[in-house]
Amino acid sequence: MRITRRTLLIGAGAGVLGVLLASCTPEPAPSPTPDRSPTPKPTSDAITPAAFARSSWSTDPFALGAASFTPVGTQATARDALAEPIDDRLFLSGEATDSEAPGTMAAALRSGERAAEQLLRAADAGERVAVIGAGLAGATAASRLVADGLQVTVFEARDRVGGRIHSVVDDKAWPFPAQLGGWLFVASDNALLDSLNALDIRTAPIAGSLWRSSEGDVGAVSAEPVQAAIATAQQGLTDTSLEDALTAAGADPTEPGLAALLASIAASSGADADEASTWFPPILPADEYTAPLADLTPVVEGLLEGAKLSLSSPVSRVAYDEAGVSLGIASGESLSFDRVLITVPLGVLKSEGLQFAPALPFGHRGAIDDLGMGRIETVWLRFDDPLIAATPPAEGETEGETDAAAEPAIWHVVGGDVSIRTWINLAPATGENIVVGLVGGDAAADFAELDDQKALEAAIASLAPFLTAPA
């Protein structure tokens, strides 16, 4: 079946949605926004994806956001302040404490190694140590501490490990796991790519971009003017936002092409252009990625070997003095350790989801207050039939038989009033009709508020320019 503009605009039918939602596993379950609008009625030619999954990091109480960013006016040294050991009892880790590439898996890994080294310098042999959080930072730290002979207990609030890395394994819905959190690797992620190789995890290259409006293909939007505006703004006496830097350079951030590029920056950094610093700018999206096509949980589980793991154990209180640290677990238990390594996300620290006694030093509280927690949401859609992507059929090809391998994998939606402007098309690399939408900044927060039906409709409507062949 070839998907036409008419069919896609009809959107998803309510009957099928119930089946689709069996594969939609946001965690923890989002509280759907009360929705009084009528349920769309399916019609015989309505298209629906065969599988649908979405994230809800913005509302997830154990994340409260997706990735930290440096807001305009904040110094990157805030991250170093957050990484300072406290009385040689508390050691903070997690992507927000890394100033090299915050908001990434590489940052989480590096921060786990750094905090473990700090703790080991203070610890005596065989000490009892707790790690709060079994994400990549916590698991990396635990691995290092176990290797040095410490007795390590990892407390994880969820009933799974991985944190903001979350592979949804559901063989009926997905030919390979849907990744609702961190999953795309760049060339510099050597250590992580090595772990994937060691575990024989299948990967796919993601490359080539396609920019399209409802009128058809538009020219690729270059990131060079953004880089130039950042470079100029970095010469200024005060930090300016990315939006102001672009405006000062004569660009119009609301121009549809530039807006689509800024949306893709928000979808990878979590920050909108009006809040992102130019002195410490977000990492611009890469041209090429490596996507894992497997469950990433074993990567984290492997690192946790040798540590005692306590799942479904949210820590609510950390009391510390010169003798040691006492942890209050939400179940009411209280446990004592020599030292504690904390990896909870910045969003959790900002919300005071973890109480400290005594309060954290001013330097740490200032950093928590100053740094920003960005919003990113992702949606996975699988279709039974090929999507129409790049070009009309070439000579010799019939409709629906375009050369998938030649299709660009990174799609940008230019113009229109849509929720999700950045899409990864997994068809060229995998042969599966799967597209992954990524949305960041305020648009992600808005998307997270939608109930599942509305989120699915918004995703399908966003994809519209890519579901019809250009004229």
Ligand X SMILES: Cc1cc2nc3c(=O)[nH]c(=O)nc-3n(C[C@H](O)[C@H](O)[C@H](O)COP(=O)(O)OP(=O)(O)OC[C@H]3O[C@@H](n4cnc5c(N)ncnc54)[C@H](O)[C@@H]3O)c2cc1C
Cross-strand partners of 291: 204
Amino acid (1-letter code) at residue 42: P
Site string for ligand X, 282-311 (x = CB under 6 A): ------------------------------
Task: Say if residue 168 is exposed, middle or buried (CB neighbours under 10 Å; 0-12, 13-18, 19+).
Answer: buried
Q: Which of 12, 25, 57, 360 binds ligand X (CB under 6 A)?
A: 57
The answer to whether residue 164 forms part of the interface with ligand X (CB under 6 A) is yes
Handedness of CA 452, 453, 458, 463 (dihedral sign): positive
Applying CB under 6 A, the span of 127-135, 207-215, 246-254, 278-286 interacting with ligand X comes to: 127-135
Query: Are the C-beta atoms of 283 and 100 separated by less than 8 Å?
Result: no
Dihedral sign from CA coordinates of 267, 268, 274, 275: positive
The residue from 264, 269, 343, 419 that contacts ligand X (CB under 6 A) is 343
- CA distances to 60, 344, 362, 372 from 368, in Å: 18, 12, 10, 8
Instruction: Tell me the residue length of the chain.
Output: 471
Site string for ligand X, 80-99 (x = CB under 6 A): --------------xx----
Does 79 bind ligand X (CB under 6 A)? Our answer is no
Within residues 105-124, the interface with ligand X by CB under 6 A covers 105-108
Question: With binding defined as CB under 6 A, does residue 458 bind ligand X?
Answer: no
Using the rule CB under 6 A, give the single segment among 162-170, 207-215, 274-282, 381-389 that binds ligand X.
Answer: 162-170
Give the position of tokens 């050691």: 91
Residue selected from 345, 372, 386, 441 as contacting ligand X according to rule CB under 6 A: 345
- Asked whether position 133 contacts ligand X by CB under 6 A, the answer is yes
Query: Which residue shows structure tokens 């002195």?
Result: 279
Q: What residue type is 423 in one-letter code? A: W
Backbone angles phi, psi at 28, to 5 degrees: -70, 170
373 and 101 Cβ atoms separated by less than 8 Å? no
Say whether residue 64 binds ligand X (CB under 6 A). Answer: no
Cβ atoms of 397 and 403 closer than 8 Å: yes
Separation between Cα atoms, residue 152 and residue 80, nearest integer Å: 25
30 binds ligand X (CB under 6 A): no
Q: Is 314 in the site for ligand X (CB under 6 A)?
A: yes
Min CB(2)–ligand X separation in Å: 31
Fill in the per-residue mask, 201 to 230: x = in contact with ligand X (CB under 6 A), - = not in contact. Answer: ------------------------------
Smaller CB separation from ligand X, 310 or 391: 310
Q: Quick one: which of 59, 104, 419, 433 contacts ligand X (CB under 6 A)?
A: 104
If one asks whether residue 67 binds ligand X (CB under 6 A), the answer comes out as yes
DSSP code string of 354-389: SEEESPPPHHHHHHHHHSEEE-EEEEEEE-SSPPP-
Distance CA 95, CA 194 (A): 20
Nearer to ligand X, 7 or 290 (CB): 290
What does the binding site for ligand X look like in residue numbers (CB under 6 A)? Answer: 55, 57, 62-63, 66-67, 94-95, 103-108, 132-138, 155-158, 163-165, 181-184, 314-315, 343-345, 348, 353-354, 376, 378
